[in-house]
Every structure is written in structure tokens, then in C-alpha cells.
Structure 1
Amino acid sequence: MNLAAATNETFAEYSNTLIYSAMAVYTLAFLAHIAEWIFGSRSKVGRTAAALTATPAEARAAAPAVQVRGKDGGTAVLDKPKVVTRSATGSRDVPDGPGAAGGTEKGDLYGRIAISLTVLAWALQTAGVVTRAISVERVPWGNMYEFSITFGAVAVGTYLAFLAAKKNVRWMGLLLTGTILADLGLATKVFYTESDQLVPALDSYWLVIHVSTAIFCGAVFYLGAAGSVAYLFRDSYEAKLARGDKPSAFATSVLDRMPSAATLDKFAYRVNAAVFPLWTFTIIAGAIWAGDAWGRYWGWDPKEVWSFITWVAYACYLHARATAGWKGRKAAVLGLIAFACWLWNYYGVNMFVQGLHSYA
């Protein structure tokens, strides 16, 4: 065995160890997020219920007042308007919840621990991706295992970037760490592939361009789908309160701390709209690469077909919102259908359908 091969095997072992270490830390982060929700505020139907049931006079009475000085030296007291978010249906004005920890000191402590552990796990996972790249001396997304570990790192990195930008996404931490654990579990137990060189069809600079954009798009689409799922639960909660029904204590404890349905709806729309042009570029880049590798730009291969179906689904989602005024539940369901198409293209096509991309 030559020295280069030994070095590659060494870095491959480093990569495996780092990925398993990341899984262990993600597990701790997941448990810390559970503690954050448990020990956070268990407020009764409060902020949301008050916003849905208060009369205009009560809202003015509850709003803090400010004083302004007139030109004659006198003062006047003005009501400070209450800041609320209009819902997607236009029928409810509801403030955002205080956050996953609910504003309590103990919940916030566990939340901070969870975020710190997530950062550590992300650093370990990213290091695992980098050492995998060193072991094969190429970009680390030549097969499903490498694609999966890179996808998870990009998804968590994007989430942490939103947090660093002071966006209200901490509610997503529990769902994110759980699904990333599932992703890494599939990668290590189902998709694992020993470090090796690329098949000839993948040995191209288009691998860097096409696959990297596909990974980033999938990570952002995932965040949008998480927003849509959260929206559906929060919207049902707000609708139940608006009807005068009393939700369960568990639903109140969780959902009253999340952003309003309108905020979640807007979040999902913005991230999907922002990344859609890049998904369009991903398909175009794949077609150009296919022309170089197989002598045709489009051959109705299953991966090509489902990439296009995914594009159509997201195009319908964005078009319906922009022209037909689809917001709220219909838009959320359509967005989740589009993400399901992406997931099938990611997992199902490679695992269950034979095609030119089966080597992945």
C-alpha cells in the first residue's frame, strides 16, 4: 500500500469519526431543545387569545401611552399602536409568540445550550465533509452518502445564519436537529459508500457547479417546508381560538410560543421565492452537463423528469401566490407537495428507479 492510499484511508476514518461525533452532539442538542420547550413558559391562552378576543377599547387601554410636547409647551397623551401581524387570510391580527423558550429564564438557558450544541455538531459535521473531500481528493458529493452529509451541513449552516441575522427561527431547532439526525442515520446505515474515485460520467467541473447548487437549494427548500408545516399547526390553533374553542394545554404550551401563522406563511414564501431562481439554474446546469457527458441535453431520464416536476411544482406555488392570491393553508399544502417532489427526486429516484443517475 503506498503512502498516498494510506493517507486517504486515514482521512476517510477521520471523516467517519467526525460524522458519528456530530450525530452524538446533535442528539444532545435535540434533547436540549426538548428541555427548552418543556421548561419554557407554559402560559395559558394568553398573547394569542388576547389578540383575537380583545375589543378595540381594550386594546387601546392595554397599549402603553407616550407623551408628546406641543408647540405651546403643553403635552398630549397618545396611544401607542399595538404591533400585530395580519394573517394570511386577512381575518386575524395576531402577535408573534415570544419564542421557543417562552421568555422564561430556565427555558432560555436550555435553548442557549441547544444552540451551542447545534453549532458544535455543525462544526463536526462540516469537518467530516471536508476530511471526506481530502480522502478522495475531490469535492465530496459524488454519491448519496456524500450528498447527504453535505446536505445536512448546509441546512444547519443556513439555519444558523438566520439565527445570526436575528431572525425568529429558534422554534425550528427541535425539528431541524431531529431531521438532520434522521438524514445522517440514513447516510451512515443505508447510503454509506467507501471513499473512492468518481465514475467517468461525474469526473467534470460541472459536478462542482450543478450538485453544489442542488444541495443548497434542497437545504433552503427544507427550511421553507418547515415553515409551512409550522404554519399549518399554528393556523389551526389560531382558528380554534378565534371560534372560542379551548385548545389542549400541550397545544397552548407549544403553539402560543411560535411566530404567528402570518409570519410563518411569509417566511416560507420568502425563502422558497429566494431560492427558486437558483433551482432553475440547477436544472439548466444539469442539462449542459448531460450534453457534455452523454451527448444530449435532455433525455427524459427519471432524475431529469423529477427535477423538472419539482420546478413546475414550485413555479405553481409562486405563481398561485403572486397572481391568484393564494396564501395560507392552500399555499402551504402546495409548497409541501413541491418539497415532497424534491424529496422523491433526492431519495426515491436514486433508490427505486433505474436510470442514468443510478450510480449516485
Structure 2
Amino acid sequence: MVVDAGLGQFGDLLFESALVIYVFAMILHAVEHALLRRTGAEEESAARVPVAAGATAGTAGMSGTSGTSGLSSEGAAAAADLEDTTEPPAPTRRPRSRAERFGRTGVSLTVLGFALHLAMLVVRGFAAQRVPWGNMYEFTAAISLVAVGAWLVVLRRRPELRRLGAFVLLPVIVLMFLAGTVLYTQTAPVVPALRSYWLAIHVSAAVIASGILLLAGVASVLYLLRRVHENDPSKLTWTSRLPAADVLDRVAYRATAIAFPIWTFAVITGAIWAEAAWGRYWGWDPKETTAFIAWIVYACYLHARSTAGWRGPRAAAVNVVGFAVMIFNLFFVNLVVTGLHSYAGVG
């Protein structure tokens, strides 16, 4: 298998460019968050341009008196009919606040970074002539890409959640920084054990699920912090600029509900691949065990979230535990613990 080293270096340049753009986007979102002084509803109502009701009424009165005073009754009726068919004036568009301008620019940069990030993985795949998640560098980059993509989908459906941008991009930037420094690996073929079509099936499912669960974990952490402020307004005052706690809870729940079946598929296909590669479906390898623990935690979260007695902070705490298990699985199990899935030689 021939590796195109020059194309691989170009992919690394795209990765670094995407990381820099994400940093600038996070800064702009942080500025937006700092400029917010009130909740979203208060800000929107304050920024909306008021309509001069008196001027409208005065115009209507003039058109009904002086405008038709010199007309006959038939002419006045015709004038009234003409006014009825006139198009109503277009509503005045409210001016954008400084915070909104910063936030929208941050979203634009995030989209640009996502495009460069996606191009990096495509280029890396062509350079190595395989799927671009065969080592920890590529795997972490792919998870970060899915997390940003999931965030952009949320923004498409709920633009008012834009103020969460800095908090979503922060873990993505940390992961990408670690991937580009500690975990970096030059473009190369994968080890023989990974040369299987299951690499494209099993690992891609794990990547997609992990990226979406990263978004869910961030939402649950912010939910718990927001609840602290709602219970005691003197604490964590900066969280007053976040969306309401129930909105954050719904984002975390829906993201987890989408990711959980994909993670289940990843665990099942991993067992099938293990049987084909090692002659057994399950061997309680550290990676397998941690992945199964994460599956149990998220199953408990979904069950707790649908149970009235556990809905709220306790369910969110379970989701945060699941997020912590995923981070532990990504770094400690892959890089420290020795096992069949160990990537300790990467670096």
C-alpha cells in the first residue's frame, strides 16, 4: 500500500487551520456570552423596534377625514376600497445587537472550520488509502468533527442556542490540540489486525456516537450549573446568560437518545469483529469492558430521564458520569492500560 506523504502533510495543514479557526470562533462566542446581560427573552424584547401606534392611528385618521373630505360618497367608498386592497407595510426588522453580531460571526467561522476539518479527514483518507480513523490522532479528529457537525445541526434547528457555542467548542479544541500534539501520527498504513472492513463499520459507529455524546455531556454539565443559579441566584451568575435549564436538559436528552442506538451498534459490531479476529465475541478486554460500562450508564440515563422521580439533576448527573466514562475510555484505556485495543505505541 503506497502512502502519499505530501498529501498527508497537506491534511495536517488543514487540521491545524481548522483548529485555529475553531479557536477564533470560540473567542467570538465567548465575547457574545460576555456581552449578554439579560436572558434571551428579555434581550429580544428590548432589541425589538417599537411601532409608533399614535402615528399609525393619526395616518388612518387623516386618510379617513381630510383625505376624503372633498370627495362625494361614491368617491369616498372607492377610496376606502382602494385602501383595503393596499399591501400592509412590511414589519420593521429589529437591529442586531453587538452580541448577536459576534455570535453570528462565530457561527460562520465554525462552519468554515468544519469544512476544513472535513477536508482534512478526506485528504488523510486518500493519502493513506483507507478510512481516516485508523489511529488515535485520526480517531480523535473524527470525533471532534462529528461533535461540531452535531452542534451545527442543533443551531440549524434552534438558532437561539448559539450562546452555547463557546462551551461546545472548548472540549473540541482541547481534543484537537491533544490529537495534534500528544497523539499525532504521520500518515501510514494501519497494522494488519485493523485491515478489515469492520474498521469502516465498527469504528465509524463509535466515532459518530462519541461525537454526539460529547455534545450531550456538555449540555448536561451546563444544565447542572444552570440549576445551581436558578436555585440560588447569588451563585454562578454567569450561567444566567445560558438558556433555561429545561432547554439544556432537552438538548442533552435528545442527543443521547440519538447516540445511544449508534453506540449499541458499535458495541455489537465490535463483538462480531472480535470473533472474526480473535475467535471469541467477548473477552472482557479493558476496552470492551469500559465500552460496556458506558453503554450501561447511558441506558440508565435514558431510563432515569423517562422516570418522573429521577428526571432533572439526578438524571443529568448520570449523563455526566457516562460522559466521564467515555473520556476515560478514549484516553486512559487506549493509552495507559495494556490490552488488545491498546494504542500505547501511538505518539
Please state which band the TM-score falls in when normalised by the shorter chain: 0.7 to 0.9
Identity %: 43
TM-score, normalised with respect to structure 1: 0.77
* Counterpart amino acid of residue 329 in structure 1: P
Q: Which consecutive unaligned segments of at least 5 residues does structure 1 have? A: 49-102, 242-246
* Counterpart amino acid of residue 291 in structure 2: S
How far does residue 46 in structure 1 lie from its aligned partner after superposition?
9.4
Please point out which of 15, 31, 43 is paired with 2:38.
43
Computing the radius of gyration from Cα coordinates, the structure with the larger value is: 2
How far does residue 300 in structure 1 lie from its aligned partner after superposition?
0.9
How far does residue 333 in structure 1 lie from its aligned partner after superposition?
0.9
Whether the aligned pair in 1 keeps the contact of 2:271 and 2:281 (CA below 8 Å) is: yes
Structure-1 residue corresponding to 2:178: 186
Q: Which consecutive unaligned segments of at least 5 residues does structure 2 have? A: 44-94
TM-score, normalised with respect to structure 2: 0.80
Structure-2 residue corresponding to 1:339: 323
Whether the aligned pair in 1 keeps the contact of 2:216 and 2:256 (CA below 8 Å) is: yes
CA displacement, residues 37-93 of structure 1 (integer Å, 9 cap, x when unaligned):
2223x2399969xxxxxxxxxxxxxxxxxxxxxxxxxxxxxxxxxxxxxxxxxxxxx
How far does residue 135 in structure 1 lie from its aligned partner after superposition?
0.6
Structure-2 residue corresponding to 1:16: 12
- The alignment status of 1:134 with 2:126, answered yes or no, reads yes
Whether the aligned pair in 1 keeps the contact of 2:11 and 2:123 (CA below 8 Å) is: yes
CA distance in 1 between partners of 2:40 and 2:9 (Å):
52
CA distance in 2 between partners of 1:38 and 1:346 (Å):
32
Mean CA deviation greater in 141-150 or 263-272: 263-272
CA distance in 2 between partners of 1:208 and 1:133 (Å):
12
CA distance in 1 between partners of 2:249 and 2:259 (Å):
16
Structure-1 residue corresponding to 2:340: 356
Q: How does 1:1-360 map to 2 (within 5 A)?
A: 5=3, 8-40=4-36, 42-43=37-38, 105-166=97-158, 168-241=160-233, 247=234, 251-252=236-237, 254-323=238-307, 325-359=309-343
How far does residue 321 in structure 1 lie from its aligned partner after superposition?
2.6
In structure 2, the CA distance between the partners of 1:47 and 1:106, relative to structure 1 (3 Å rule), is closer
How far does residue 169 in structure 1 lie from its aligned partner after superposition?
2.9
Structure-2 residue corresponding to 1:88: none
How many residue pairs match? The answer is 293
CA distance in 2 between partners of 1:108 and 1:43 (Å):
13
CA distance in 1 between partners of 2:261 and 2:115 (Å):
29
CA distance in 2 between partners of 1:233 and 1:310 (Å):
23
How far does residue 167 in structure 1 lie from its aligned partner after superposition?
5.2
CA distance in 2 between partners of 1:131 and 1:236 (Å):
45
CA RMSD, aligned part only? Answer: 2.2
In structure 2, the CA distance between the partners of 1:351 and 1:257, relative to structure 1 (3 Å rule), is same
CA distance in 1 between partners of 2:97 and 2:268 (Å):
50
More helix by share: 2
Structure-1 residue corresponding to 2:70: none
How far does residue 343 in structure 1 lie from its aligned partner after superposition?
1.1
CA displacement, residues 250-296 of structure 1 (integer Å, 9 cap, x when unaligned):
x44x4333221122112212221222122111100000001111111
CA distance in 2 between partners of 1:161 and 1:125 (Å):
16
CA distance in 2 between partners of 1:143 and 1:38 (Å):
38
CA distance in 2 between partners of 1:47 and 1:167 (Å):
16
Whether the aligned pair in 2 keeps the contact of 1:159 and 1:169 (CA below 8 Å) is: no
Whether the aligned pair in 1 keeps the contact of 2:30 and 2:166 (CA below 8 Å) is: yes
CA distance in 2 between partners of 1:44 and 1:19 (Å):
36
* Counterpart amino acid of residue 183 in structure 1: L
* Counterpart amino acid of residue 101 in structure 2: L
CA distance in 2 between partners of 1:318 and 1:190 (Å):
34
In structure 2, the CA distance between the partners of 1:261 and 1:166, relative to structure 1 (3 Å rule), is closer
In structure 2, the CA distance between the partners of 1:167 and 1:114, relative to structure 1 (3 Å rule), is closer
